[in-house]
Amino acid sequence: MREPQNIVVGLATFRRPELLAGLLPRLLEQIEQAAAALPEGAELGIVVVDNDPAGSAREVVEAAGGPRVRYALESVPGISSARNRVLDEAHDADVLVFLDDDETPHSDWLAHLLRTHREHDADAVSGPVHAVFEGGADPWVAAGEYYLGQRREGFPTGTVLRRAATNNLLLDMAAVRRAGLRFDERFGMSGGEDSLFTGQLTAAGGRIVLCAEAVVDDLVPRERNTRSFNLARRRAQAATHVRVDQELASSRGERARNAARWLVTGSGQLAKGGVLAVLGRATGDLRLRAQGESRVASGLGVLGGCVGVVSSPYARTRARAGS
C-alpha cells in the first residue's frame, strides 16, 4: 500500500472548550512526529467540527493558530451530523482519523495508526481506549470492569475486527468512498452510528484491524463515574447493538433469526445477572454484584431493543454541557 499524501485528524466537539484547548496542541505534536516519517510533500491537518450552534469552539481553534487546524460549524444537532460533516471536510483526504474531544493520545499514536494501515493493507484501523476516571474510579464501576473491554488487552496488532467505535479510528477514505458510507442520522441521538458505519464497511468487503500500540486515554468525568449512569449506559448500548444488528441484516429471514437469538441472549443475561447480583449482595462481594447488575441492565436493553425500545443518551437539554 502506498503512503497516504493527505491525512486529516477529525474531531467532533460540543461545548467542551477546555478539553479541546488541551487536546489541540497534543495533536499538533502528533502530526509533526508522524510527518517526519512520511514522504516529502505529505499534507497533514486537523478538522474540528463544532456541533454547538453558538460556535463555542471557534475561539479555541483560532487560538491554536496555524494552517494545520481548520474549523467548521455544524448546526444540525447529533453525533451523526457532526461526524458526517467531518467526512465532508475531509472529502479529498487519503486517510481520516477520528478522535473524541475528551481523549488524549499516547506518544506516537498517529504514527502507529499510519504504520498499521500501511503494513496490514487495512481499510480501517482501531486503537485501544483506556479510561481515566476523574477523581478515581467509583468502587462499583471498577468492580464491574465495564471499561476493561475497550483496552483490548491480549489482542495483538493485526487482529481483524468486525466493527469498531470512532473514538480512535483510522479510515482509508478510498474504501469509504467506494462503499458510499455515511453515518446514519437516525442514530444521531442514540449512538451506535459508528458501529453501523463500520459494520457496513466490513459488509462491503472492508478490513478493520487493531493497532495495539495506538492508545488513547478517555476522560470519564465524575458525573459519568457512577453506578446509575453506567447501568443506564449498558441498557442503552445493548438496545442499540440489537438495532445495529437488524440494520445490517440482509433479509427478513436474517432479521427474524437475529430477533430470536437476541431474545434468548437477553433472557439469559437477565437470569444469570439476577443470580450474580443476589449472590453479590448476600455475600458482600461487590464484583459479583456489579457484574450481575450490569448483566441485568444489558439483558433489559437487549429485550427492549428486540421490541424497538431505544434510548437517546445524546439527546440535549439546556442544562447539558457535553455531547
Per-residue pLDDT tens for 1-23?
Answer: 667 889 999 999 999 999 999 99
Query: In sequence order, which residues have a C-beta less than 8 Å from that of residue 94 and are 6 or more positions away?
Result: 4, 5, 6, 7, 172, 173, 174
Q: What's the domain count of the chain? A: 2
List beta partners, residue 45.
Answer: 8
Range of the domain at 138: 6-224
Q: Does 321 fall in a domain?
A: no
98 and 220 housed in the same domain: yes
Predicted local distance difference test score (pLDDT) of residue 292: 98
With a pLDDT cut of 70, the percent of the chain lying above it is 97
Q: Same domain for 234 and 207?
A: no
CA angle 314, 317, 319 (to 5 degrees): 115
Nearest to 209 by CA among 118, 117, 130, 128: 117
Q: Residue with C-alpha cell 487560538?
A: 63
Same domain, 192 and 297: no
Domain assignment of residue 313, yes or no = no
- Same domain for 251 and 287, yes or no, is yes
**323 found inside a domain:** no
pTM for the whole structure: 0.92
Q: Are residues 113 and 82 in the same domain?
A: yes
Q: Is the pLDDT of residue 318 over 50?
A: no
Residue 182 sits in the same domain as residue 292: no
> Are residues 241 and 141 part of one domain?
no
pLDDT tens sequence across 280-295: 999 999 999 999 999 9
**Residue 315's pLDDT band (cuts 50, 70, 90):** confident
Q: Clarify whether residues 113 and 209 are in a common domain.
A: yes
